[in-house]
Amino acid sequence: MWILTYLIGHNSIMSTLVWITGLSGSGKTTIGKKVFNKFKKKYSNTIFLDGDIFRNIFGGDLKYSIKERLENARRIHRLCKFLVLQDINVVCATISLFKEIHTMNRKEFKNYYEIFIECDMMELKKRNQKNLYSKSKKLKNRANVVGIDLPYDKPKNANLIIDNSKKNNLEIKVEKIINLVM
């Protein structure tokens, strides 16, 4: 009987993956956390995954070459798939700018929303989160920074593109995502 009560009282939609992607420093985590907080209020079976934290969870065994970044993206994809199959909604903020991953996500998730956080490179260099962009200047050759010396696949079929070149209107940007998903 308690199972029936749980199912009736459980605010659930068909489990959803909200995949928030963009270059380092674009605002994925900030926007993703806000989306998660709003989503969680309505759907308790929701979690937030962040690409940087994800690396630490798995012991930081992968570095930042294109091959290792792709493997990390595959791991994130597999974890999201596992969670969605358990009826858990996932808001995931990750660089993962690989066409292969976007294609897998679209193929394997019925309720998949790809959000691309666009940000001007000059602005990213000004923000310089984690000192990635200044470090890439010093190293000149191979800093393994996506968008600088590593290529990326800008999503061609994103459900939504949000320009976050200016750190303003956060609530409006979040509402666009919530309105799309809900």
Going from the N-terminus, what domains does the chain have, and what CATH number goes with each? 13-181 (3.40.50.300)
Global pTM reads: 0.86
pLDDT at 30 over 70: yes
Contact (CB, 8 A) for 119 and 27: yes
46-70 pLDDT per residue, tens: 999 998 888 888 888 998 888 999 9
The two structure tokens encoding residue 165: 């070149």
Tell me the sheet residues that pair with 148: none
Is 12 in the active site? no
pLDDT at 24 over 70: yes
**Average pLDDT score over the chain:** 86
The CB density around residue 82, as the number of other CB atoms within 10 Å, is 11
pLDDT in tens, 72-82: 999 999 999 99
Per-residue model confidence (pLDDT) at position 141: 54
Catalytic residue among 24, 26, 96, 136: 96
| More confident call, 84 vs 11 | 84
Confidence band, pLDDT 50/70/90 cuts, at residue 1: very low
Compute the average pLDDT of residues 16-45.
96
DSSP for residue 50:
E
pLDDT at 39 over 80: yes
Cβ contact 73:94 at 8 Å: yes
